[in-house]
Structure 1
């Protein structure tokens, strides 16, 4: 609900209005930051099977911005969502323990990546199976329609 100020006028003689605190000034979509919007859109595109690089390029075209700007927004938002994640620290020297720890993280990420690849392949397989079933189910009807068209030509 909009209300006028008590005095009725602001500087310059214009009436001032404001929103009550319990009323949002924007919808949820409007109140999302650009970084949040970019992050959400990229994640949706990745879930749909688009590569991250292609998602960055597509959004860059939509926003009319360089791809690196979109990439920066994505990673800025991503980093802000995981504040407890340890930042990369520069080491003055690498100890054997550090090297083992780094190697362990690389292998753990590789295992996670394999799982993600398997899940993506399953998703594509399910989509292909659904397309196959739909084509198979409609094949007789489509063939009959084509044959009918062929018969009218002769």
Structure 2
């Protein structure tokens, strides 16, 4: 899942990318290793502190920011050209609305565990001119009904 997501995002060296709902940095670290400039955002200050420590140990330059990504006033964009989203089941409505209004944002990889919120959020992005370019399903939890959806959007 991580490898495919990072490959699909295809962030170039020096490109500014935002990893929303970054958690412990599962996507942030490989993005930074590719040479991208990464802003990793999540609401969990404790998780972010652990990710910061790990980034320092690996000598990776990743900026970490604590923000409530369900509050549109707190969502950073900063002229990013690409974003990776891996939200909880509630989805990423506020983040998608912010991305939809950002003229600099060109590519989005959205990882979802909930088909209903994914459909809602994709509608927001598609109404703003994004097109679905690739889609895949990943079985991260064998022997359960849970599947992860992986979507690449571009405009």
Give the TM-score range, shorter chain.
Answer: under 0.3
Question: Bigger radius of gyration, 1 or 2?
Answer: 1
Structure number with the bigger relative contact order (C-alpha 8 A, sep ≥ 6) is 2
Give the TM-score normalised by structure 2: 0.21
TM-score, length-scaled by structure 1? 0.21
